[in-house]
Amino acid sequence: MRETIVNPEDLIYPLFVVPDNRARVEIRSMPGVWQNRVREAVDETRRAYDAGIRAVLLFGLPEFKDAIGSASWDPAGPVQAAIEAIKRAVPQMSVIADVCLCEYTDHGHCGVIADQDVDNDATLPLLAKQALSFANAGADFVAPSDMMDGRVAAIRSALDDAQMSEVGIMAYSAKFASGFYGPFREAAESAPQFGDRRTYQMDPANIREALREIELDVEEGADIIMVKPALSYLDVIRAARERFDLPLAAYNVSGEYAMVKAAAERGWIDGTRVMNEILTSIKRAGADLIITYFAVDFASAIR
């Protein structure tokens, strides 16, 4: 009689990829999550596929950083190399590449800086360039997470002009300026060097604005829309599900994962039970897809 069932194929597994000259390192604030070299990213992808997961989301840490994130469109970069290796080793796995400058800039912001703030319009061609590089490497989807206005249209136009209209866009459509991202910034080494991201990410108090942001991405050509974070924004997920017909993703973010892991390690909660409850609540709210660091743990547990 259960009304809501989470299946492994509903989940997207995030992976952090570093250059091969770096060591594989477990992320201190995210037990069980690693910075992987390409070969280890392939191994993790194979493990996820064997558990029933059908999509991975890749984040990259580059060899060098500069003011415009130019390493992000290097065809030999870690994400590009991982896409090619994964598609060779596990061709059935859908590969999604995160598109943003924050991991690649020396200032840690998601776009080009002018007068101590992000220049939205100057950032768009760089995001399109990054997306094209990932698509050329074989990505099935690109996922702009920067929250620049107009970036979905810019990326869609660039992909279409390059005869790659089959590459989809999973847009971080309603991405809130959240305190739940702390562990991710350790994992991606992407903390801002000054200020914060509230000038371009959303106010956590606003749901009507979130729906306007999603509508803009739909009009610009997004194939999948997303709400991030998930757990404190279940009402936004539900509102998006009721208003839009596109596939809807939700990101069960690093802070949500870290809190469960930390409490479970101390014996304060049953970690597996809470994991199941959280993922079920996100799907019950209306998400078709859930991006979660729990993906392999969950798929293994239900088996």
- What number of other Cβ atoms are within 10 A of residue 57's Cβ? 21
Active-site choice (65, 87, 129, 175): 175
> How far apart (Å, rounded) are the C-alpha atoms in residues 83 and 75?
11
> How far apart (Å, rounded) are the C-alpha atoms in residues 8 and 63?
33
For 251-261, b where at least 16 C-beta lie within 10 A, e where not — what string?
bbbbbbbbbbb
> End-to-end CA distance of the chain, in Å?
20
267: which DSSP letter? Answer: T
Q: Is 65 noted as a catalytic residue in this protein?
A: no
Q: Is the dihedral of CA 56, 258, 65, 249 positive or negative?
A: positive
> How far apart (Å, rounded) are the C-alpha atoms in residues 108 and 67?
9
Active-site choice (65, 87, 228, 261): 228
For 276, the token pair is 């199941």
Q: Which residues are catalytic?
A: 175, 228
